[in-house]
A and B are shown apart, each in its own frame.
Chain A
């Protein structure tokens, strides 16, 4: 398969999968096989492109013009490669997990669930491979729309309300802020194509840079920068595989990935660094990091706590982008992968606890560690990675972010990062601690609770292992991201 064919294939495989999933709706076993085969095929296709990127190639595909300025083109570059690899790899793991979870909880409308999931991953690939803002925007919106039925999956009053917030904030910000930013960029620069060093240098200066950056940063609601973060906790009403994969990996990472890509290839880090018009975003990101962490501490519902933790962690990536120096970009980009693997582990565990013990609150978990030792051990691994302690992958991204902050002479941000790590410890580590070391009160220790279905445990095992492996083999990520052309 040639490189551009592989790009197109990565977009079409999930779509074909979605069609086959719908066609096989009467045979759940066939349907789940289709999901797994699609996931495997997609991952192999994406992985087949890695060596080309390392060789310095940036294959292109598409090039379809809808109207002046509206062009659908795909181009592979290191950051997109990283995102596509993380998303397709974790989708495969998540599919294994979904089968265990959906069957374990006897969820309804499973065909719809798997089909929408496949469309969403296809849209994620589109975001990852987009060569210009318009293509990015197209798939960004498809991602929003294809995940809406997943958020409202339960079709209860609460789910519909959650879906409403989800749709209004994500569609609203993208239509009212992001789209004008794209059109404005097009009118200023005459193109929306991502290019090394940015396309706005010399075309925009002064306050206009800050305005455009604000339109982009807040317009990309998926990055959940406060005050546009409310959709993420609202989306937690979805089944856990959705929260795990979409709202810890694909959707939110598509958001911060877009911010990163726009800073690097539309503004150019030199434009932001020399004009200083991006500095305000540093403080907004820092505020989001701290406030969301504090809110997370107050949440007793496990998934809500993890959601606020995600809001906080996403702003690490935004912070890295806003630092506008090599180390910041490196740390932020790396955090896309590190946080994805860590947070999906935590969500997998939360779902396993729900499936096995039907518990959703942190306060109910006392003593469960003895019944589900594997799950809670994995939770601890994921938590340590999120906190950023060795020997877990999260260490490295925080390390580079702190270095980037120092290089930008923003010592206050180094302090913010350290405080945030302490807050992470405060709201994440008590969970496995309670489960293992606190005795359950009264007759709460219901018998018959055992580990979740095997499919769930396999998935948890894979991602927890990946957290550790990313610590020892982070140089692969480093080498890939080194290839990004920042100037």
Chain B
């Protein structure tokens, strides 16, 4: 076998071994070097896989040479490759940024440990997206979750410990539900391979154990993706985690959970079962709308900007699940493309906040007074990211909103279109509030130490901010690929 054929395995093994080596390191900067190298290699592999999938169809890789359904299969299709690309690109952007930020926020003796955990988390997230085995998904889910708990607990604030613990409890409940669901499916079908499961469930039809499995899986995954009202762990976790962790998790972790949702609802159980006989779309739409309004309204009243953006994330996840609930071509494309669009803008926003934390040491709104004059580029990134959250035309946020709104109207649900645009009005309020403080209040921290962050931190966020504009105009790589993934997901509906 050539190296190219081994790429699916390398996508997971490389960060795993990177983590192992990092764990042996004493010096934080050495560990950072390894994490950086691995993070830079990941998008190259994902890129090759994506190009391969787009031209030649799904890739199937048999781990250890055992053929599925007995062995574990790594399976890359359009949706999986799209997600791999997203995770690895965010990882590659965040690592150059991480060094200075981590050095500021985490004590020297724990830095190597931090990079170990980061690489483990990366392994888990990439693993979920690449594996074609339901139990293997559970393993990777736990790898990423356990490392995430540690990463969050490393936050400087003492409340970080409590939030990590809170997430641990919620995350474990979610994982338990997931594994119960898988167990039920296994007891009925006798297989764990996703492709195999798909075939057998369509033979069995929606029997009671299958429906019970669906319910368990749905609740379990919903906890992971912070679907309203199962989101309570998220605001604290994002607010008190180290800045780098918040930016990385906000851009990737919930997105992977959404991927699982799509995988199980559309492929494994089958669109015709889930979206024709069961009230799944109704439940999803109701919860999505509640998230879009409820979480946005809560965001308006937050004084900690990281927490505010965390609530905004819950609301934005509502847009994604709204697209899933619509389950038509335009709507679902809007949801899937919002995965990547939201990752870009939230990544940029959290990085900009991390930059302020690096200089000022606080993410409270009052400490941002007048900071636009000292850190104009960073705050320009924040403003651009904010405009994208609002859904201003010319940004990625608008592209998502357009697809979702057309999807809603295609169903004849004009009221949903109005709810969609009305909810983005709430985001004008919470973004506008920060924009006023950073640009128009008199400067609070007059010391000379408040200035632009080092280039290694600045460049990644500028790249992400540029991407929110670029992919708001040229969508061949985002909505184009999302559209192809959606065609595959909806194939069973017609």
Interface on A for B, CB 8 Å cutoff? 64, 66-70, 72, 134, 137-138, 141-142, 145, 149, 152, 155, 159-160, 163-164, 167-168, 171-172, 175-176, 179-180, 183-184, 186-187
Kindly provide the distance from the CB of B480 to the nearest chain A CB, expressed in whole angstroms: 9
Q: A365 vs B260: C-alpha distance in the bound complex, in angstroms? A: 72
Q: Which residues of A contact B424 (CB under 8 A)?
A: 175
Q: Is the CB of A187 within 8 A of B406?
A: yes
- Determine if B409 and A137 form an interchain contact, defined as CB atoms under 8 angstroms apart: no
The answer to whether A67 and B405 touch (CB under 8 A), given A155-B440, A167-B428, A180-B418, is no
Interface segment, B91-99, B193-201, B390-398? B390-398
Cβ-closest chain B residue relative to A138:
B393
A residues near B418, Cβ cutoff 8 Å: 176, 180
Q: Is the CB of A176 within 8 A of B393?
A: no
For A183, what are the chain B residues with a Cβ–Cβ distance below 8 Å? 402, 405-406, 409, 417
Contact partner of B330 (CB less than 8 A), chosen from A68, A72, A141, is A68
Contact, CB under 8 Å: A142 / B394: yes
Decide if B473 is an interface residue (CB 8 Å cutoff).
yes
A67 touches B421 (CB 8 A): no
Write 17 A-B pairs (CB below 8 A) sorted by A numbering. Answer: A66-B472, A67-B402, A67-B475, A68-B406, A69-B406, A70-B399, A138-B393, A164-B432, A167-B428, A171-B390, A175-B421, A179-B401, A180-B418, A180-B421, A183-B402, A183-B409, A187-B410
Ranked nearest first, the 10 interchain pairs of A and B with the lowest CB-CB distance are A138-B393, A187-B409, A183-B405, A155-B440, A160-B440, A176-B421, A141-B393, A180-B417, A175-B421, A67-B479
The CA-CA distance from A64 to B436 in the complex, in Å, is 34
Q: Which residues of A contact B390 (CB under 8 A)?
A: 171, 175
Please judge, given known A-B contacts A141-B392, A172-B428, whether A184 and B402 are in contact too, CB under 8 Å.
no
Residue numbers in B under 8 Å from A168 (CB-CB): 428-429, 432
Q: Is B391 a contact of A175 with CB atoms below 8 Å? A: yes
Q: Report how far A244 CA is from B439 CA in the complex, Å.
A: 24
Q: How far is the CA of A95 from the CA of B394 in the complex (A)?
A: 28
Residues in A neighbouring B422, C-beta threshold 8 A: 176
Give A186 to B474 CA distance when docked, in angstroms: 20
With A183-B409, A184-B409: A176-B425 Cβ-Cβ less than 8 Å: yes
In the complex, residue of chain A having the shortest beta-carbon distance to the beta carbon of B329? A68
CA distance A152 to B479 in the complex (A): 36
Q: Does B213 contact A (CB under 8 A)?
A: no
Q: Classify chain B: how many residues form its interface, as a range.
A: 20 to 34
Among candidates B402, B425, B428, B436, residue contacting A70 with C-beta atoms closer than 8 Å: B402
B348 CB within 8 Å of chain A: no
Complex Cα gap A68–B480 (Å): 11
Hey, which bits of chain B sit against chain A, CB under 8 A?
330, 387, 390-394, 399, 401-403, 405-406, 409-410, 414, 417-418, 421-422, 424-425, 428-429, 432, 436, 439-440, 472-475, 479
A64 CA / B470 CA spacing, docked (Å) = 13
Q: Chain A contacts of B436 at CB under 8 A?
A: 160, 163-164
Q: Do A172 and B425 form a contact, CB below 8 Å, given A152-B440, A183-B409?
A: yes
Q: Is the CB of A184 within 8 A of B414?
A: yes
Please tell me if the beta carbons of B421 and A186 are within 8 angstroms of each other in the complex: no
The residues of A that contact B439 with a CB separation of less than 8 Å are 149, 152
Q: Which of B399, B409, B414 contacts A67 (CB 8 A)?
A: B399
Q: Is the CB of A186 within 8 A of B425?
A: no
Q: Are B406 and A66 in contact (CB-based, < 8 A)?
A: no
Contact A67 B432 (CB under 8 A): no
- What's the count of A-B pairs with C-beta under 8 Å? 80
B330 and A66 form a contact (CB under 8 A): no
Residue of B nearest to A134 (CB): B393
Which residues of chain B are within 8 angstroms of A186 by Cβ–Cβ distance? 406
Q: Roughly how many angstroms separate A103 CA and B81 CA in the complex, as a whole number? A: 58
Asked whether B406 lies within 8 Å of A138 as measured between CB atoms, the reply is no
Determine the main DSSP class of B at the interface with A.
Answer: helix
- Which chain B residue lies CB-closest to A175? B421
Interfacial chain B residues near A72, Cβ < 8 Å? 473
Bound form: Cα–Cα A188–B157 in Å:
54
Q: Is the pair B479, A179 in contact by a Cβ cutoff of 8 Å? A: no
B429 contact set on A, CB distance < 8 A: 168
Q: Give the residues in chain A near B479, CB-CB below 8 Å.
A: 67
Q: Who on chain A is nearest to B408 by CB?
A: A183
Out of B401, B417, B473, which one reaches A64, CB within 8 Å? B473
10 new A-B contacts, CB < 8 A, other than A149-B439, A168-B432, A187-B406, are A66-B472, A67-B402, A70-B399, A141-B392, A159-B440, A175-B424, A179-B405, A179-B421, A183-B409, A187-B409
Q: How far is the CB of B381 from chain A (nearest CB, A)?
A: 16
A172 to B414 CA separation, bound complex (whole angstroms):
18
Chain A residues with Cβ below 8 Å from B440 are 152, 155, 159-160, 163
Q: How far is the CA of A164 from the CA of B436 in the complex (A)?
A: 9
Q: From B437, which residue of chain A is reached at the shortest CB distance?
A: A160
How far apart are the CA atoms of A186 and B392 in the complex, in Å?
18
Once the chains are docked, how many angstroms separate the CA of A184 from the CA of B408? 10
Q: Which of B401, B417, B432 is in CB contact (< 8 Å) with A167?
A: B432
State A171–B440 Cα separation when bound (angstroms).
Answer: 19
Q: Within the assembled complex, what's the spacing in Å between the Cα atoms of A268 and B318?
A: 38
In the assembled complex, the CB of B424 is this many whole angstroms from the nearest CB of chain A, namely 6
Per the bound structure, the CA–CA distance linking A155 and B440 in Å amounts to 5
Q: CB within 8 A of B402: which of A69, A149, A155, A159?
A: A69
Q: A172-B428, A175-B425 are in contact. Are A67 and B403 (CB under 8 A)?
A: yes
- By a CB distance below 8 angstroms, the chain B residues around A141 are 392-394
In the bound complex, CA of A179 to CA of B397 (Å): 14
Task: Name the distance in Å between A101's Cβ and chain B's nearest Cβ.
Answer: 22
Docked complex Cα distance between A186 and B414 (Å): 13
Min distance, Cβ B418 to any Cβ of chain A, angstroms = 6
Name the residue on A nearest B330 (C-beta): A68
Report whether B428 and A145 are in contact in the complex, using a CB–CB cutoff of 8 Å. Answer: no
User: Contact: A138 with B394, CB < 8 Å?
Assistant: yes
**Complex formed: what's the CA distance from A10 to B474 in Å?**
22
Residues from chain A with a CB closer than 8 A to the CB of B472 are 66
* Distance, CA A149 to CA B432, complexed state (A): 12
Residues of chain B lying within 8 A (CB to CB) of residue A134: 393
What chain A residues lie within 8 Å of B399 (beta carbons)?
A: 66-67, 70
Does B475 lie within 8 Å of A66, measured CB to CB? yes
Query: Smallest distance from the beta carbon of B409 to chain A beta carbons, Å?
Result: 4
| C-alpha spacing A184/B421, complex, angstroms | 13
In angstroms, Cα B436 to Cα A68, docked, is 35
**Nearest-neighbor residue (CB-CB) of B387 within chain A:** A145
Q: Determine the chain A residues whose CB is within 8 A of the CB of B405 once the complex forms.
A: 179-180, 183
Within the complex, what minimum Cβ distance (angstroms) separates A63 from chain B? 13
Residues of B within 8 A of A164 (CB): 432, 436
- Chain B residues, Cβ within 8 Å of A175: 390-391, 421, 424-425, 428
Partner of A137, one of B393, B417, B473: B393
Chain A residues near B417: list those with CB within 8 A. 180, 183-184
Residues of B within 8 A of A137 (CB): 393
CA distance A69 to B424 in the complex (A): 21
Q: How far is the CA of A163 from the CA of B479 in the complex (A)?
A: 35
Q: Shortest CB–CB separation between residue A403 and chain B, in angstroms?
A: 38
Residues in B with CB closer than 8 Å to A180 are 405, 414, 417-418, 421
Contacts of B391 in A (CB 8 A): 175
Please report the C-alpha to C-alpha distance between residue A198 and residue B12 in the assembled complex, in whole angstroms.
56
A187-B418 Cα distance, complex, nearest whole Å: 15
A66 to B393, CA, bound (A): 11
**What is the CA–CA distance of A160 and B441 in the complex, to the nearest angstrom?**
9
Q: How far is the CB of A146 from chain B (nearest CB, A)?
A: 12
Would you give the shortest CB distance from B310 to chain A, in whole angstroms? Answer: 23
Q: How far is the CA of A27 from the CA of B21 in the complex (A)?
A: 55
Closest residue to A159 on the B side, CB-wise?
A: B440
Write the chain A residue with the least CB distance to B392: A141
Q: Nearest CB to that of A161 among chain B residues? A: B436
Q: How far is the CA of A120 from the CA of B401 in the complex (A)?
A: 25
